[in-house]
Amino acid sequence: MQPSRIVITGVGLTAPNGNSLAEFRRHLLTGVAGIERIDVRYMGSQLAGVCHYDALRYQTRKELRVGTRAGSISIYCAREALADTGVSLETLPKDRVGIYIGCTEHGNVETENEVYNISKFNYDTKFWSHYHNPRTVANNAAGETSLNLGTTGPAYTIGAACAAGNMGLIHASQMLRLGEVDFALCGGVSESIHTFGIFAGFKSQNALAMHAEPARASRPFDRARNGIVISEGGCLYTLERLEDARARGARIYAEIAGYHVNSDASDYVLPNPQRQAECVRAALARAGLAPAGIHIVNTHATATPLGDIQECEAIRAVFGEGCPDTHINNTKSFIGHTMGAAGALELAGNLPSFDDLTVHPTINVDDLDPQCALPGLVLNQPRPVARVDTILNNSFGMLGINSTLIVRRFVP
Amino acid sequence: MTKDDCKKLVLDIIADIAPDEDLTNVRPDVRLRDQLQLDSMDFLDIVMELRKRHGIEVPEADYLQLASLDSCAEYLTPKFNALPARG
């Protein structure tokens, strides 16, 4: 039996340079980055991508006080996605809605806050918050979203380091095909700029970006790149089986064409180009596509000196020569690394290419690293193209998790 | 400290933990839960804020004493007045 076709019918997002798909896309095509300086506990001024969405649009002040930033970002994105696809919560069978949210990590922000809080009371744990456990459970973002929406189907997070955003979509596709749910909200979120630990950790790895001009700090493929800009963000999609989407006359953004997830099994932090290439090839095989059939490759590249080269090695191995219609870009150059949201947000940034036939560029490449000089790289200026029917989105994470997701233009 | 002073301190705490609530007409003789959107975690917030802001301990066995502003004042005012002078 043929598995159901799965389609994307709605998008809700908040990125450091936009709080809707239209605004995000406009900024990706006009070179507007979203990086600024923030004060990080114990570390002082640091570069970060900060989201400026209206948190009170869908939550009360009390909900914001009790909940987490990850929960708030998820709720905003979920509500925006539902509004975008025109589905009312009143008409959805609430027990048939699944919420699948990718997270790089969760609980660091809340735990650091509590340790800091009790430090003001001589580390007496009787001042430790009674909200600590609901705030730090791994399913927090999805659970807060189900509370806000009143949906009673499965709602949980998927921990997959920085591959998590893609994983949200992949897992939702699987659950829809299995018939576990009829409607899915899925993607990824990150609140990571609110923990000093991630900044300190990357700094200790010599992998934290530094630059005098914030907007120019995230520079994948540039010879002067010096690390990651840490960002928060979120992007949730509504996913449905094609027959359900058509029955209600939904607008269809794209169809899930293929995906693959694998593991390096080689290092805690260093990527493995061979496994990355295997992941991309397996996703292509599932989609029934040859490399030359991919029109946009959105890279994971985070602007670490080694990581970018290794991903380029993997892409070169798969796409190499003979793919004249394959264009390669990177969204982190605008918004930094949104961690668990990255895969989902970066896919969203490219989805409008099906309509506007333009590939957004990788910005901040003043001096292309020869080891990253892939054919088809779109640098600094958007590129109008004749055809965009397929987008391949890479997201890789620590402990060697790789994910590749391919979407195609919807053709009935 | 008078009982009215005490009620004001409790209302200051509630204003922070329930920021969406209109507290202008809270009736002191009616249970707080019957007139405001407060759940059990919010009452733990009141207990925590009394501890943090004022050094007042409310043992679990006495939580019912926080039911209304009047009962709060009855229960808490002697505790406030028994605190050692600050400064």
The alpha carbon of residue B16 is apart from the nearest alpha carbon of chain A, in Å, by 9
- Separation CA A248–CA A246 (nearest Å): 5
The alpha carbon of residue B84 is apart from the nearest alpha carbon of chain A, in Å, by 18
**Among residues A7, A16, A4, which one has the least CA distance to residue A235?**
A16
The alpha carbon of residue A62 is apart from the nearest alpha carbon of chain B, in Å, by 6
Residue in the structure block whose two tokens are 């180009």? A273
pLDDT, tens only, B6-49? 999 999 999 999 999 999 999 999 999 999 999 999 999 999 99
Domain that holds residue B69: 3-81
Contact A62 B41 (CB under 8 A): no
List the alpha helices (DSSP H) in chain B: 3-17, 32-35, 40-54, 69-81
Contact A131 B51 (CB under 8 A): no
- Domain annotation covers residue B86: no
- Domain annotation covers residue B87: no
**B52, B53, B56, B58, best to mutate vs chain A, most A CBs in 10 Å:** B52
Contacts of A255 (CB under 8 A, 6+ apart): A5, A6, A7, A8, A242, A407, A408, A409, A410
User: What per-residue confidence (pLDDT) applies to B79?
Assistant: 97
- Structure-token pair, residue B87: 């400064």
Which positions in chain A touch B48 (Cβ < 8 Å)? Answer: 127, 129-130
Average pLDDT over residues A27-31: 98
Task: List domains and CATH numbers for chain A.
Answer: 6-247 (3.40.47.10), 257-408 (3.40.47.10)
Let me know the angle formed at the C-alpha of A169 by A78 and A4, rounded to the nearest 5 degrees. Answer: 110
Which residues of B touch chain A, with CB atoms under 8 Å apart? 17-20, 37, 41, 44-45, 48, 51-52
pLDDT, tens only, A307-359? 999 999 999 999 988 999 999 999 999 999 999 999 999 999 999 999 999 99
User: What per-residue confidence (pLDDT) applies to B9?
Assistant: 97
- Structure-token pair, residue A398: 């620590």
pLDDT band for A3, please (50, 70, 90 cuts): confident
User: What per-residue confidence (pLDDT) applies to A265?
Assistant: 96
- Domain annotation covers residue B61: yes
Which positions in chain B touch A121 (Cβ < 8 Å)? Answer: 52
Q: Which residue of B has its CA nearest to A131?
A: B41
Show which of residues 23-62 on chain A sit within 8 Å of chain B, judged by CB atoms.
60-62
- Separation CA A120–CA A136 (nearest Å): 21
The alpha carbon of residue B43 is apart from the nearest alpha carbon of chain A, in Å, by 11
pLDDT, tens only, A181-211? 999 999 999 999 999 999 999 999 999 999 9
Tell me, what's the ipTM? Answer: 0.94
User: What per-residue confidence (pLDDT) applies to B85?
Assistant: 76
Which positions in chain A touch B18 (Cβ < 8 Å)? Answer: 62
The alpha carbon of residue B17 is apart from the nearest alpha carbon of chain A, in Å, by 7
- Domain annotation covers residue B25: yes
- If one counts every other C-beta atom within 10 angstroms of the C-beta of residue B8, the result is 13
- Separation CA A8–CA A252 (nearest Å): 6
pLDDT, tens only, A219-240? 999 999 999 999 999 999 999 9
pLDDT band for A1, please (50, 70, 90 cuts): low
- Separation CA A275–CA A396 (nearest Å): 10
Which positions in chain B touch A131 (Cβ < 8 Å)? Answer: 41
> Is the pLDDT confidence value at B87 over 60?
no
Contact B52 A121 (CB under 8 A): yes
CATH at residue B71: 1.10.1200.10
When divided into structural domains, chain B yields a total of 1
User: What per-residue confidence (pLDDT) applies to A406?
Assistant: 98
Q: Which residue of B has its CA nearest to A134?
A: B41
Let me know the angle formed at the C-alpha of A115 by B44 and A189, rounded to the nearest 5 degrees. Answer: 85
Contact A62 B37 (CB under 8 A): yes
Q: Is the pTM of this model over 0.95?
A: yes
**B41, B46, B63, best to mutate vs chain A, most A CBs in 10 Å:** B41
User: What per-residue confidence (pLDDT) applies to A372?
Assistant: 98
A60 → closest Cβ in B20, B41, B51: B20
The per-residue pLDDT of chain A, averaged, comes to: 97
The alpha carbon of residue A172 is apart from the nearest alpha carbon of chain B, in Å, by 33
Contact A130 B44 (CB under 8 A): yes
- Separation CA A345–CA A15 (nearest Å): 7
A130 → closest Cβ in B37, B48, B52: B48
pLDDT, tens only, A80-112? 999 999 999 998 999 999 999 999 999 999 999
User: What per-residue confidence (pLDDT) applies to A2?
Assistant: 78
In this complex, how many residue pairs, one in chain A and one in chain B, have their CB atoms less than 8 Å apart? 23
- Domain annotation covers residue B53: yes
Show which of residues 317-376 on chain A sit within 8 Å of chain B, judged by CB atoms.
none
In three-state secondary structure terms, A200 is helix
Average pLDDT over residues A373-401: 97
